[in-house]
Chains A and B, each alone.
Chain A
Amino acid sequence: MAEAGSGGPEGGAETAPGGGAVPEADAWGDLLAAALLGTERRRPPVTVRPGQDPAAALLDAAALSTVARRAGVRPAAAWPLPAPAPADPRPALPAAARRRLGLLLADRVGQGPSGPRAAPDLTELLPQWLAMANGHGYRAPDALLPALLDAARARTDLRPDALALAGPRGLWLARLNAEWKFALRGGPGRGTGGLSESATPEEVAKLWEEGLFAERVSLLSMVRHRDPAAGLALLAGTWATERAEDRLMFLDSLRDNLSPGDEPFLEQALADRSRNVRATAAELLSALPCSALARRMAERSRAHVRLEDPAGGAGAPRIVVRAPEECDSAMQRDGVVPKPPSGRGEKAWWLGQLVESTPLECWTEWFGGRGAAAVVALPVADGWQPDLHAAWCRAAVRQRNTAWSRALLGSPAAPLSTPPIAGEAALAAAVTASWRDPAKLLSALPPEERAGWVAEFIAAHGLSDAFRLLGVCAVPWSEPLGRAVVDALDIARDAGSYPWSFSGVMGLAERCLDPAQADRLEVLTAVSDEPEDGSPGAVGYWSESFQRLVGTLRLRAVMRDELNGAGETPSNSPETPTSAPPPDPAPPTAPQPAADPTAARTPHQTTPPESHPPTAPQPTADPTAPRTPGLAEPRPAARTPPRMPE
């Protein structure tokens, strides 16, 4: 072998040319030919000493040649260098936080913690850590970028935060390795190809014209954030030439800074070739209460839903519904889907779509100036209440109407509309019977009120229906909410059931409880006496679960302090800016728990973003279906205990 490495003549180093004692490459070829055929058949091109076996002489010469060629290896010609990675001006992580990230990412490899089940689950803490780190504006350590990209590849829920932390160098690296192609596509929070907020219009236009899809998505959201009209102009300029799935993603990115100025563009998009684009445009327009579409929908609703208020007290006022008889082409153009999902009557289906797109203020106007609570309290004739209220709920969520959300939520202590049924039956029941979707309505309320409502709900109903509600509460949980959850867990323990019936809530509590609660929880980790009617062994499992909860809370506090740089100077970062990190790095929204706590470990949840736009409307499905696919209640019945007690 003449070259350093086995890359062959084109990839390897050159052999030292002959001269002196170094044999020619040809000489090696001759030796090899003789060796292949055998010295019996071919006389080797070597000097054989008297009495020496020609084969031994061949080996002598081959050894000399081998060592000489190895000693004479020379450098190869360099391939073209990759373009250097763009600079990332963000400060480096404090040393302890950097070490923590290394451990969090190492756990993902699947070695799993060796300790008891009471040990914290690091894979569930990674999303929170990433969000906190991004809150501080740190950049990822270069050496951990491959592990970070691998983690994001395996878990789609990590991608936005992982890629934001990875920054421009992460994107640079992902371009070099086909396994990280996902980073170059889809989703917000990606690098904008090195463009900063202060980019000139020419730079923006150039990136918009030539950039990768991911860069364009983040560019659009950046420009929209700064100047909504400029962003819209950017999109309108190339709209006709975009692919349908790209149009859908771009259109969806208008959602966050939606304003009346977007109406003409959206009105135009109602005639788009793609059905999904049309549906999204209609949905966005109906979220603009002053839009022409909203007015048209309101007029239609008004013809079908009216207040019957007998004069002179001849009976209580009530709402009477006359369902639409047809779904004409004008309605369809405004986004009404004519064909209902199986099992639903088409008239009720059409009515629901009209009402959900009607500005909620209209009802107050039409129903004698009644406020939201009064309208919701009105009786509805002929069993139309579930359909009507469900549509109002969707409208309240879409229009982010606090008053209506509050009214539709009602009192948290009110009896549940569906009896709590465990497992799949509950999910099915929730879809068909429950017109209310408290989790989504809650998101329109201010965080404090939201937490208070959920706390009262848990105090009244326990934890079995609380999972999704907890998922929309701000992290860390407020003090009253945290107390309600802990109290409910304590009650459940005293009732003698197994902790894994509450594993979903337990997992949320580990991630969302304020770490300051750890000391208060400490007493619950003690192994108490077994209640007589309790499940065998449950006490031990509860103790273990609470230990894990306390351990996780403590770890979160440490992680937070590490990111704050508590007690140390920033690591290896001469360019660390002097600006202090924000005092409270906690992300404003709750982490999105995986449907099943065990599912988060499953590798390869790699769905290409195109086929799975986060907010793609699904016109044929029930519009009340949760927007976040992962946010479904775990099924406690499906969990099996790790060790069955005798």
Chain B
Amino acid sequence: MNPQGERWTAEQVLALAPDTASRIAGGELGTAGPWSGTGSDAQSVWGLCQGGGSAPYQTVVDLEGAGGPGYRCGCRSRRSPCEHALGLLLLWAGETGEGSVPKAAAPPEWAGEWLAARRSSATAPGVAEGAETADGTAAAAGADPVAARRRAEQRAARIEGGASELEQRLTDLLRDGLASADDDSHAGFTVWGETAARMVDAQAPGLAARVRELASVRASGPGWPGRMLEECALTHLLSQGFLHREELPEGLAATTRSRVGIPVGTAGLLASGPAVRDHWSVLGRQDSEEGRLTARRTWLRGRRTGRMALLLSFGAAGRAPEPALPTGLVLDADLVYYPSARPLRAVLGTRYGRPAPESEATAPPGTGIAEALADYGEALRDDPWLDAWPTVLSGVTPIPGQGGWQLADARTGTAVPVDPRCLQRTNLWQLTAVSGGGPVTVFGECGHRGFAPITTWDPHPVPL
């Protein structure tokens, strides 16, 4: 809870929108016109919105709560938060005018009931949300530890079977030669499809994903044999790693388990793992469609520790994944890293106050190109399967070229190519516009394919 009842910024509000259409519609409703009966206290905002029908919509936002803010609106929109909740929050947010949503001692009855119900259910036991099905390594609270251990052993045995089978496929392929797959690529494709399905059966989704990736390499254009051999070799490395995990150091064994696809329960992790408390700066955020879910990646860097962290969350279609942390905020909170030889992915623990904007708008400190590539190399030493490592590059200039882009450092005459997979999804022209031909700071992922920009600063953060 935040006793000061500090208001959010409009950027924070807009970052909550589940999609562009809601953001636009919310922006339109963020004017005093359609609203009446508005008010706010330290933890909630409410108001009546004149909509299309005869009765106005009753809109309430609970600013606090265990799982982040909560919304309720009479419009019954599928989206959450709906445009009315967004409009109300915009009206309330600092810059649109204090007078529109006055402070009140307590919410009116219609809002208070829902708020009270929400808060009491949040504190009720047994509704721990978001806990993935846990295996033995992080037994869910209350489960029988013996049974959990047995299930984990069964699963590991199944994965071992899958990994051995995959090894067989890979060695068969290398014995016949990659070029032989060339003869009948359709058949080859089916073989990989079957193998991927086998890996799913073996409860090794991580291996299955790698196999599907292998199937697509064949059609990835010139140079495919090199990429194919690389992918086959790293997949081989992973199945060998899992088969020999007992001989590996603790961290690397954990990395191998998670790469193979054994999940770690967040509840158990939060209960057992060491928490790292810091002021975490939000460096970037990316949403992507994964099947029917929206996957959200939020990258953080600790001010004190300098450590990078990645929060990964999922939301159903039309619902914004939590947490809604827009780039440029700082969050005083505990993070617990997933066990790994190179910890990056983390889960958000206790928060100490609401996220607030950085005290002054400046680009975060960064490194040079050579350092960034060296950092990635260093990270590979711990986790050989890493494709890239999050990095803040400073003093680089984007250069558009024929069929590719570079980020160049004029001081050293060096450059890193932009990851070609970004050309479709990243707004590189926006980066160029912000740069204006001069050096900028860019946050992104630096890896063997090049650098994938995610955020730049003008000096306010600009998501790319």
Contacts and interface: CB of A to CB of B under 8 A. Distances in A.
A76 B451 CA distance: 12
A35 to B, nearest CB: 5
Contact of B361 (A82, A120, A567, A572): A572
B369 to A, nearest CB: 5
Nearest to B179: A36
Nearest to B96: A96
B132 to A, nearest CB: 30
Given A4-B450, A38-B176, A55-B175, A143 B458 contact: yes
B64 interface: no
Nearest to B417: A5
B350 interface: no
A177 interface: yes
Contacts of A80: 399
Interface residues on A, range: 35 or more
A32 to B, nearest CB: 6
Interface in A122-150: 122, 141-146
Interface in B165-198: 167, 170-180
Nearest to A79: B399
Contacts of B420: 5-7
B83 A115 contact: yes
A522 B194 CA distance: 65
Given A4-B373, A177-B400, A12 B33 contact: no
A82 B399 contact: yes
B232 interface: yes
B29 to A, nearest CB: 8
Interface in A171-209: 172-173, 176-177
A371 to B, nearest CB: 50
Given A38-B177, A75-B415, A568-B95, A81 B14 contact: no
Contact of B229 (A32, A75, A116, A558): A32
A576 to B, nearest CB: 14
Interface in A49-90: 53-56, 58-60, 62-63, 65-67, 69-85
Interface stretch (B139-147, B220-228, B340-348): B220-228
A561 to B, nearest CB: 9
B392 interface: no
Interface stretch (A213-221, A235-243, A466-474, A543-551): A543-551
A151 to B, nearest CB: 13
Interface in A79-111: 79-85, 95-96, 99-100, 103, 106-107, 109, 111
Interface residues of B, number: 94
A145 B427 CA distance: 11
A119 to B, nearest CB: 6
A550 B434 CA distance: 37
Interface in A9-64: 11-13, 28, 31-32, 35-41, 53-56, 58-60, 62-63
Contact of A4 (B51, B378, B416, B432): B416
B31 interface: yes
A77 B381 CA distance: 26
B174 A39 contact: yes
**Most A CB atoms within 10 A — which of B437, B448, B451?**
B448
Contact of A59 (B21, B171, B401, B449): B171
A222 interface: no
Contact of B31 (A54, A78, A81, A554): A554
A11 B404 contact: yes
B306 interface: no
A567 B176 contact: no
Contact of B414 (A6, A7, A77, A544): A77
A493 interface: no
Contacts of B459: 572
B230 interface: yes
Contacts of B79: 114
Contact of A38 (B28, B175, B415): B175
Interface in A529-550: 544, 547, 550
A1 interface: yes
B128 interface: no
Contacts of B427: 146
A307 interface: no
B118 to A, nearest CB: 25
A113 interface: yes
A169 interface: yes
A456 B177 CA distance: 87
Contacts of B176: 38, 40
A35 B178 contact: yes
A73 B447 CA distance: 9
Interface string B79-102: 100010000000000011100000
Nearest to B78: A114
B236 A56 contact: yes
B52 A56 contact: no
Nearest to B225: A36
Contacts of A74: 370, 373
B167 A56 contact: yes
A82 B223 contact: no
Given A5-B417, A78-B399, A32 B384 contact: no
Interface string A209-252: 00000000000000000000000000000000000000000000
A142 B436 contact: yes
B458 A142 contact: yes
A113 B52 CA distance: 14
B43 interface: no
A154 interface: no
A81 B437 contact: yes
Nearest to B239: A59
B457 to A, nearest CB: 10
Nearest to A98: B460
B414 A75 contact: yes
A78 B409 contact: yes
Given A5-B449, A59-B236, A114-B22, A100 B230 contact: no
A75 B370 contact: yes
Nearest to B231: A66
Contact of A73 (B25, B31, B95, B376): B376
Contacts of B227: 1
B375 to A, nearest CB: 11
Interface string B326-351: 00000000000000000000000000
Nearest to B25: A115
A31 B416 contact: no
B433 interface: yes
B233 A62 contact: yes
Nearest to B236: A59
A115 B22 CA distance: 8
B450 A1 contact: no
A74 B114 CA distance: 58
A141 B225 CA distance: 45
Nearest to B21: A114
Contact of A77 (B180, B373, B413): B413
Contact of A544 (B52, B413, B419, B447): B52
A49 to B, nearest CB: 13
Given A55-B175, A78-B410, A551 B21 contact: no
B74 interface: no
A13 B178 contact: no
- Closest 7 CB pairs between A and B? A38-B177, A5-B417, A75-B414, A78-B408, A62-B233, A71-B377, A85-B436
Given A81-B437, A82-B437, A144-B433, 14 more contacts: A31-B229, A39-B177, A63-B237, A70-B376, A70-B377, A73-B377, A79-B408, A85-B436, A95-B95, A103-B27, A111-B24, A544-B52, A547-B52, A555-B31
14 contacts: A11-B404, A12-B450, A35-B178, A40-B176, A62-B229, A62-B233, A67-B380, A74-B373, A85-B438, A113-B24, A113-B28, A119-B25, A173-B429, A572-B460
